[in-house]
Amino acid sequence: MKSLISKLVLMTVLLTGTLAFHSIQAYTLEQFTFDDPAQTEEFHNLIGELRCLVCQNESLAGSQAGVAQDLRKEIYRMMRDGKSRTEVIDFLVARYGDFVLYEPPLKPATYLLWFGPFILVGIGIVLLFRALQRKKAAPEQELTDAEQARLRQLLTKNGD
């Protein structure tokens, strides 16, 4: 019991510690403004399309990770220097890999990823058609003499 309480106390201390740490570090996007509003919008769009490597379910726009802030600053600097969108993306891919892109590029290593679903649908359609044709091709089975007799018997019985 005693150890449970001390654990709880420790956890609370640690949690508040982390929260405090994060609130100090909180970043906003307001510091990144360009003279041209269109460029500000382009900046926001671009960082929204790039993935943060630390918090992998977040984009660079949404992440509070320190590395994400460093990358935002770097992208901001590059765009202020007049670098194009493609140049910024190439810069990041050369350093962090395709992983920063939400949409993986089309290349031999990703062919299966891009075309796999279509191949599976194709196989499904082929199988479906074959199954349908087999069903159509199969002739209706004639009843045997014994079955005919049984059928007649049932019908007369019901006719009473």
Partner 1 sequence: MSTTSRALIPLGIFITLAALLFYGLQLDPRKVPSPLIDQPAPTFALQSLKDANQTLTQDILRGKISLVNVWASWCPSCRQEHAELMQIARENDIQVIGFNWKDTRPQALQMLEQFGDPYAIILFDPDNQAGINWGIYGAPETFIVDAQGVIRHKRIGPIDRAVWQNEMLPIIEQYRNK
Could you list the residues that contact partner 1 (CB under 8 A)?
53-54, 56, 66-67, 70-71, 74, 93-99
Query: Cα 38 to the chain's mean position, in Å?
Result: 29
Q: What is the DSSP letter of 142?
A: P
Give me the amino acid identity at 119: I
Please, what is the minimum distance in Å from the beta carbon of residue 5 to partner 1?
A: 24
Q: Strand, helix or coil at 28?
A: coil
Please, what is the minimum distance in Å from the beta carbon of residue 54 to partner 1?
A: 6
**Which residue, 29 or 67, is less far from partner 1 as judged by CB?**
67
Give the span between the Cα atoms of 69 and 28, in whole angstroms. Answer: 9
Please, what is the minimum distance in Å from the beta carbon of residue 47 to partner 1?
A: 15
**Which residue, 44 or 95, is less far from partner 1 as judged by CB?**
95
